[in-house]
Amino acid sequence: MQVREENMLLAALPETERERLSPYLKKVRLDFQQVLVEPHQEIADIYFPYNAITSTVHEMSDGTSVETGLMGLEGFVGVQLWLHSRTTPSRTFVQVAGESHHMRASDFIRHVRDTDSPLNELCAKYVHAFLVMTSQTAACNRLHPLNERLCRWLKLVHNRLRRDEFPMRQEFMAMMLGVQRPTVSTAANMLQQAGLIRYSRGQMRILNAEGLRNGSCECLELIEKQFEQIFDRYHG
Amino acid sequence: MQVREENMLLAALPETERERLSPYLKKVRLDFQQVLVEPHQEIADIYFPYNAITSTVHEMSDGTSVETGLMGLEGFVGVQLWLHSRTTPSRTFVQVAGESHHMRASDFIRHVRDTDSPLNELCAKYVHAFLVMTSQTAACNRLHPLNERLCRWLKLVHNRLRRDEFPMRQEFMAMMLGVQRPTVSTAANMLQQAGLIRYSRGQMRILNAEGLRNGSCECLELIEKQFEQIFDRYHG
DNA sequence: AGCACTGTGTTAGCTACATTACAGAAGAAG
DNA sequence: CTTCTTCTGTAATGTAGCTAACACAGTGCT
């Protein structure tokens, strides 16, 4: 039963490698707020989302939190396992529900611990892009004002979902951006006034993607360029 | 000529692996502000510092910058190369001068592209710890006040240098922490008043390391724990 | 219809830090 | 010793975002 892969990492694999993996790949539904990686607990599953968005957040002891990474169809959940670590202090969960492929950790490790595996090289390049996203986010969180960060973040989500409408509440955006909900309210409202987005009661609609890109800080372009580079040599 | 390795990654290698690598390892002096990885340029060299501190910073187009990672004797410079990427957008340079071992990129790749290499597994675990540091920094930059971040940062440097006195200017700390120099001045002065540090004209002295640890946010402990875990199974 | 609940808008006072500017102090160079 | 340069302290003013509180509007339930 050959299911069309839409996760970009899986899609980039040579046919033979895809066939080798396919017995271990299962399609699963990812529900909103489902936890994929629990802090400090063994990572048992790897996910290759393709129309869902997942987030890695760091939670502080006082309850505040910030997103430090965001994964969609361009990546996979469980990079820590690829890095020979069975646990990690951050939480990864589903931010926008959707479909994903799933693999058991043990199967993943067995296939990827082969230096010549095409999957191994793709994972390496993805982890690099992910590291760049995370570190750029670290800088962005310190240096850029909320309105620019909000534009950047919405465009990152939009690019990964590849549709203009998706569920998204202000409360959630506040958690991701590490600010208070009322602060998101004013910032999001300005974007709405400017005609870039429209939203109501947990439904977000992107009206002007180009406008979001322009309103975003330079971090957006830098981050997306890294993810494009993963696949450069495969489509060159 | 068997030189005593002090970089922890090299020191953790089995004797046979050390001997295999030693023809390619050269001791070098790292000078203050020497650039080890230039943004968007090919990484030609790998460094294993042991009494120097190196920093990875992200620089924005308006000239502002923030440190997103800090490497000393517990790690190595050039993780991007291990991740199959020849360039990266961030800059890595020497923050506190000192000694390091050095390896040409090509030699490093040849040795590390072997799944069973002990060096390969150590690199993997180090990259995980480095990723945790970077993402925790992203969260910390957003959520924690400067005085706590300054304590955390000074202790990270102190832990890596393993000495109480080292050259450090306010201008530099401001760059690392992503704040203005006068802001560092007031924060550092408070630490000095409290008897935790003493400094003058570019010389920093740690007077009360335990006090710094207490004044730091929770991020310090979380980060250091990750680096300890790299070596757990080697000294268990 | 009435009610409760959830998501959103908005306000006012507050804090952390930015910005700019300048003054002093310690070395370095003459 | 004098002068210059570098590093540090400080002060005035501005602003982004926090905090807490509340109003209101859709949505679902009874």
pLDDT tens digits, one per residue of B94-123: 999 999 999 999 999 999 987 778 999 999
Please indicate whether, in this complex, the C-beta atoms of A141 and B136 are within 8 angstroms of each other: no
Cα–Cα dist A86/A105, whole Å: 10
Per-residue confidence (pLDDT) for residue A139, from 0 to 100 = 95
**To probe the interface with A, which of B142, B146, B223 has the most A CB atoms within 10 Å?**
B142
In chain B, pLDDT over 90 holds for what percent of residues? 91
Residue B31 per-residue DSSP state: P
With beta carbons under 8 A apart, name residues in chain B contacting A121. 84
**Per-residue confidence (pLDDT) for residue B232, from 0 to 100:** 81
Minimal Cα distance from B138: which residue of A? A138
Mean pLDDT on B191-200 = 93
In this predicted structure, what is the pLDDT of residue B5?
62
CA of B221 to C1' of D17 (A): 28
Question: Using an 8 Å Cβ cutoff, are B122 and B167 in contact?
Answer: no
Chain B hits for A82, Cβ within 8 Å: 124
In the chain, the amino acid numbered A6 is: E
Structure confidence at residue B1 (pLDDT): 43
**Per-residue pLDDT, B6:** 85
Gap from A203 CA to D28 C1', in Å?
17
**pLDDT value at B236 more than 70:** no
**Closest CA relative to residue B83, chosen from B109, B63, B58:** B109
Q: Which residues of chain A have pLDDT under 50?
A: 1-3, 235-236
pTM: 0.94
Tokens standing for residue A25? 């790949």
**Three-class DSSP category at B235:** helix
Residue with tokens 């850029």: A144
Identify the residue whose Cα has the smallest distance to the C1' of C21. B182
Contact A138 B134 (CB under 8 A): yes
Q: For residues B147-167, give the mean pLDDT.
A: 95
How far in angstroms lies nucleotide D1's C1' from the CA of residue B198? Answer: 30
Residue B127 confidence (pLDDT) above 70? yes
Q: Is the pLDDT of residue B3 over 60?
A: no
Q: Pairing state of beta strands A45-49 and B98-104?
A: unpaired
- Interatomic CA distance for residues A2 and A8, integer angstroms: 16
**Residue–nucleotide distance: B185 CA to C24 C1' (Å):** 15
Residues B138, A218: C-beta atoms closer than 8 Å: no
- The protein footprint on chain D, as nucleotides within 7 A of a CB, is 6-12, 16-21, 26-27
- Chain A residues close to B121, C-beta within 8 Å: 84
A65 close to B (CB below 8 A)? yes
- What string of H, E and C letters represents the secondary structure of chain A? CCCCCCCHHHHCCCHHHHHHHHHHCEEEEECCCCEEECCCCCCCEEEEECCCEEEEEEECCCCCEEEEEEECCCCCECHHHHCCCCCCCCEEEEEECEEEEEEEHHHHHHHHCCCCCHHHHHHHHHHHHHHHHHHHHHHHHHHCCHHHHHHHHHHHHHHHHCCCEEECCHHHHHHHHCCCHHHHHHHHHHHHHCCCEEEECCEEEECCHHHHHHHCCCHHHHHHHHHHHHCHHHHC
Q: Which stretch of DSSP H or E encloses residue B198?
A: strand B197-200
What is the pLDDT, as a whole number, of residue A117?
85
CB atoms within 10 A of CB A228: 11
For the residues B71-88, what does the mean pLDDT come to? 96
Residue B235 has pLDDT above 70, yes or no: no
Pairing of strands B53-59, B65-71: antiparallel
Residue from A59, A60, A108 nearest A83 by CA: A108
Of A148-152, B138-142, B231-235, minimum mean pLDDT range = B231-235
